[in-house]
């Protein structure tokens, strides 16, 4: 595949019990009692990145950082970017402006204290910025972030803003929004930036989509996944709906192998470097 364009690899650092779709089964009040698996999974990812000479951006929950500060420091010391995923994985679309701002300010302070570096990037949980809460971008800028990667220009039952620009754009506040990658085909945007689609569809689809964006659009892609997606041994929630179980557990055993192919077939770097956000 093309070695001419450096794409941005991003990891949303949250554990399996913090996923929005499983929220009814893991109340926040119980999180302290649920066994965490994030440290093992992130260490596996760090090994994969080191093996392929790649760097990445880790959008990290403040809640995770407080409990695993050494993990955050290992990520930073390995040359990767630490960015914010908010504090407690609250969707921006379910919060008031005041609560959202407080959450992202707290997360930034926690991460900066632990990582010992400025945090300039933010990603809303579940890409929960859309037409109904565009004020969230103003809050992100107000909190001191330089860029956001919180919009997915697709149609989806839980998120999406299909009319948003497909590539990075600057808002009036000066904030740079870096949408997750889509491929334009047959008159619509198709998800091409990872997540559940990366597990559901054959790897060749992701390879074709990213290659097409690199070649036809001449642009860098931004791709994401979660640490729990490389963990087929994670506890199963048997009483979740069939749809939720399918979405969450499909092809977990294949993710690590597919990531190895992805790291082999493309060149990957940090989001702040790829999109010039640190300049």
Task: With respect to residue 174, please indicate whether it lies within any of the assigned structural domains.
Answer: yes
Task: State the total domains in the chain.
Answer: 1
Task: With respect to residue 103, please indicate whether it lies within any of the assigned structural domains.
Answer: yes
Q: What is the mean pLDDT of residues 27-46?
A: 96
Task: With respect to residue 279, please indicate whether it lies within any of the assigned structural domains.
Answer: no
Task: With respect to residue 187, please indicate whether it lies within any of the assigned structural domains.
Answer: yes
Read off the pLDDT of residues 123-158 as tens digits, 9 standing for 90 and up.
999 999 999 999 999 999 999 999 999 999 987 656
The DSSP annotation for the chain comes to ---SSEEEEEEEE--GGG-GGGGGGS-GGGGGGSPP-HHHHHHHHHHHHHHHT---EEEE-HHHHHH-HHHHHHHHHTTPEEEE--SS---GGGS-HHHHHHHHHHHHHHHHHHH-S---EE--GGG---GGGTHHHHHHHHTT-SEE-----S--SS---TTS-SS-EE-TTSPEE-PPPEEEETTEEEE-SBTHHHHHS-HHHHHHHHHHIIIII----EEEE-GGGG-TTSPP-TTS-HHHHHHHHTTHHHHHHHHHHHHHHSEEE-HHHHTTTT-
pLDDT value for 277 = 77
- For residue 1, pLDDT beyond 60: no
How high does pLDDT run on average in the chain? 94
Task: With respect to residue 18, please indicate whether it lies within any of the assigned structural domains.
Answer: yes
* CATH assignment of the domain containing 226: 3.20.20.370
pLDDT value for 154 = 84
pLDDT value for 162 = 84
The model's pTM: 0.95
Read off the pLDDT of residues 42-54 as tens digits, 9 standing for 90 and up.
999 999 999 999 9
Task: With respect to residue 191, please indicate whether it lies within any of the assigned structural domains.
Answer: yes
The pair of structure tokens assigned to 116 is: 């010992």
The band of 4, judged by pLDDT with boundaries at 50, 70 and 90, is confident
Give the residue numbers spanning the domain of 171. 6-274
Q: What is the mean pLDDT of residues 116-125?
A: 97
pLDDT value for 157 = 58
């Amino acid at each position: 595949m093309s070695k001419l364009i450096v794409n941005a690899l991003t990891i949303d650092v949250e554990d399996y019990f913090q996923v929005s779709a499983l929220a009814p089964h893991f109340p926040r009040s119980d999180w302290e009692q649920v066994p965490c698996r994030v440290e093992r999974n992130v260490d596996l990812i760090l090994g994969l990145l080191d093996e392929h000479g790649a760097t990445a951006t880790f959008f990290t929950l403040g809640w995770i950082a407080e409990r695993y500060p050494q993990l955050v420091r290992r990520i930073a010391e390995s040359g990767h970017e630490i960015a914010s995923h908010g504090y407690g994985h609250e969707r921006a679309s379910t919060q008031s402006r005041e609560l959202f701002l407080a959450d992202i300010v707290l997360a930034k302070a926690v991460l900066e204290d632990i990582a010992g570096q400025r945090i300039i990037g933010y990603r809303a949980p579940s890409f929960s910025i859309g037409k109904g809460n565009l004020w969230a971008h103003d809050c992100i800028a107000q909190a001191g972030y330089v860029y956001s990667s919180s919009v997915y220009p697709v149609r989806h039952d839980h998120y999406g803003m299909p009319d948003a620009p497909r590539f990075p754009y600057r808002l009036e506040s000066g904030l740079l929004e870096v949408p997750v990658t889509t491929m334009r085909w047959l008159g619509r945007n198709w998800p091409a930036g990872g997540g559940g689609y990366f597990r559901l569809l054959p790897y060749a689809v992701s390879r074709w989509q990213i290659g097409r964006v690199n070649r036809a659009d001449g642009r860098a892609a931004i791709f994401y996944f979660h640490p729990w997606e490389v963990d087929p041994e994670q506890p199963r929630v048997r009483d979740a709906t069939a749809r939720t179980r399918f979405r969450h557990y499909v092809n977990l055993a294949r993710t690590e192998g597919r990531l190895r192919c992805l790291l082999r077939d493309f060149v990957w770097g940090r989001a702040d470097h790829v999109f010039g956000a640190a300049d």
